[in-house]
Amino acid sequence: MRRSIFILLHTAAIFAITLSLLSGFRIATLTKPYLLTIAALLPSGQVHNLHLLSASLLLSLSVYYLYFRMSIGRVTSQSRYHRVVTWLGHVSLTICLISGLLNYFDLTPEHIVSLHYYSAVAIVAYLLLHSWVYIMQFGCKAFKKILLMSSKHVPYKLLAALSLCTGVLFFFINSLTHTLNITPISTQVLMEIDGLANEPQWQNAHTFIIDTANGANFANGHTQVQIKALSNQHETFFLFRWADPTKSLQHLPLTKTSQGWKVKENGFYLFDEQSYYEDKFAVMLSNSCDIGADGTSHLGKKPFADKPANWHGKGYHASLDGKVRDLWHWKAVRTNDMVLADDNYIGPLAEPLSGQRRYKAGYQTDGKESGAYVMNWQWYSPSSITPKRLPTHSGNDDKPVLPWFGSQPYHQSKDIYPIGTHLSSVLYRSNRFEGDRADVRAKGHWHDGFWTLELVRQNQTQSKYDVALNNDTCIWVSAFDSSQIAHTRHQRAIKLRYSL
């Protein structure tokens, strides 16, 4: 019976570790582009669920194995080499499980954010030294030894208990959320959305702190976000503050070269710019709180068989359960002067359009009646572009947004700028957004290495692309440091708690 239990545990461990490694390396492709070279071997789609499920199984197995070893002792005899390798495996697996749990609970200290990944790499090394060497030694007999047992010896009760534990653990961990207590204020209180947070009500508000990680350009990919929230009967005010040593207001700037104007970029052609992009901040809202950004993360180059692949190979956001997730997207250049966050949503898969090179799956903007920012190029090409407008005087050539009144339509005769001149690529062609897309007022202010963002929205907007703010609402926050899509993230949702 001891041998049967060992074979069951060993087989389940092979299954769980394989699934964990493959799904984990897929998640790691978001921050480690070199892993994209083996992306074809990795699963795609909603891999966060897969990862949590395999981790739950691995955790259940580990706990039972510990009990098994302590109560029964060693089952197999091993050479000294294999004893050392097994010890390496146990250490790696233990570190991987603990660091994974810390990551999931958003408790990982900043300087060991990558420990989970490197312990997973150590497990791969262990598998080579353990499994591969056994196969070299014993060939197919190795499989017979660890996989085969008679059906009458299968420990069904243990199998059922492990399955039950795994399921319970999965649903329990998945249901855990953070809580953001929202301080009530009177409708008479005047809050100015200016990014300064100098209203006394902010001082009295509860502060919630969350570590977000794996974003481009932040130190170790990490930044801590402080969140406060106030609410009256009609609106909820949010205050976000996060560390970002660099105030990035250069948004795909244009530069004059000997071949003409070019867009300064590092990844924009693949829609993954990571150098010449404005700072941004995003808040996702949903009335469910599941793992993987509430099930909207679909990783991989082509996670949907009948939809186009993405250019960066990282994945898409989409809601496949029929529900809409709200997404507020504040942009330090394009929307900050409008005192708005771009009101977007994550919905069902959009129909691909023949003429659009970038397919965005479920991530779309709410509709608008008018208002727009436009890019200051007539047609984007990585080799050269023609600006739509040129500044009328030199004071306007280094502003983050090229003012309409202060610029003139491009004409070759007026293009007398010397090589090396920089020019903004963002133009406000008309007024700020109006309509559904303008539901979220927001203003950010950068000071001494920190962005402070004040944001407000009505609790109910009547828009089918918005999520109501109430006690069932969960939020997720992400900071972008000079990057287009490579944002920081946290695992557990933050549940809003109103006291009204």
Partner 1 sequence: MIKRFLISVLIVAVAGVYVIFSDTIIEPIAHPRYTKITAQGKALSPWQGPWACVLDHQHNLLWEVKTDDESIHDGYWTYSWYDHGLGKANFGDCYFEDARCDTQDLIRHTNQQALCGQNNWRLPTEYELASLIQPPKRPGQPYIAYDYFAHIKKGDYWTSKAKVKLQQQFAHLKQGAKAVNFHSGEVVSLPYRNAAFVILVSDITGTYSHTQLSSRDTSTTQ
84 binds partner 1 (CB under 8 A): no
- Which residue is associated with the tokens 């926050």? 477
Distance CA 408, CA 417 (A): 14
382 binding partner 1? (CB under 8 A): yes
Return the residue of 245, 367, 395, 449 that touches partner 1, per CB under 8 A: 367
Residue 134, interface with partner 1 (CB under 8 A)? Answer: no
Is residue 257 part of the contact set for partner 1 (CB under 8 A)? Answer: no
Residue 355 engages partner 1 in binding (rule: CB under 8 A): yes
- In this structure, what token pair is assigned to residue 352? 């691909």
Q: Residue 277, SS3?
A: coil
Give the integer Cα–Cα distance in Å for 342 and 282: 9
CB of 38 to partner 1, least distance (A): 6
Supply angle C-alpha 104, 108, 110, rounded to 5: 140
Rounded Cα gap, residues 477 and 480, in angstroms: 10
Q: Which of 109, 184, 352, 395 binds partner 1 (CB under 8 A)?
A: 352
Burial label for 284, CB within 10 Å (0-12, 13-18, 19+), is buried
Strands (E), 361-434: 363-365, 373-375, 389-391, 407-409, 422-423, 426-428
Under 8 Å between Cβ of 12 and 65: no
Return d(Cα 175, Cα 173) in angstroms, integer: 5
* Sole binder of partner 1 in the list 73, 157, 198, 379 (CB under 8 A): 379
With binding defined as CB under 8 A, does residue 409 bind partner 1? yes
Site mask for partner 1 (CB under 8 A), range 432-471, x = bound? ---xxx---------------------------x------
Is 79 near partner 1 (CB under 8 A)?
A: no
> Which residue from 139, 245, 395, 449 is in contact with partner 1, where contact means CB under 8 A?
139
Residue 378 sits in the site that holds partner 1 (CB under 8 A): yes
Nearer to partner 1, 67 or 404 (CB): 404
If one asks whether residue 308 binds partner 1 (CB under 8 A), the answer comes out as yes
- How near is the Cβ of 158 to partner 1 at its closest, in Å? 32
In SS3 terms, 271-324 reads as CCCCCCCCCEEEEEEECCCCHHHHHCEEECCCCCCCCCCCCCCCEEECCCCCCC
Which among 48-56, 62-70, 231-239, 301-309 is the span making contact with partner 1, rule CB under 8 A? 301-309
Distances in Å between the alpha carbon of 58 and those of 141, 281, 355, 449, 496?
26, 35, 47, 41, 32
Q: Does 489 bind partner 1 (CB under 8 A)?
A: no
Is residue 78 close enough to count as binding partner 1 by CB under 8 A?
A: no
Q: Is residue 124 close enough to count as binding partner 1 by CB under 8 A?
A: no
User: Which residues of the shown chain bind partner 1 in the complex (CB under 8 A)?
Assistant: 37-41, 132, 135-136, 139, 301-302, 308-309, 311, 350-357, 364-369, 374, 378-383, 388, 409-410, 429, 435-437, 465
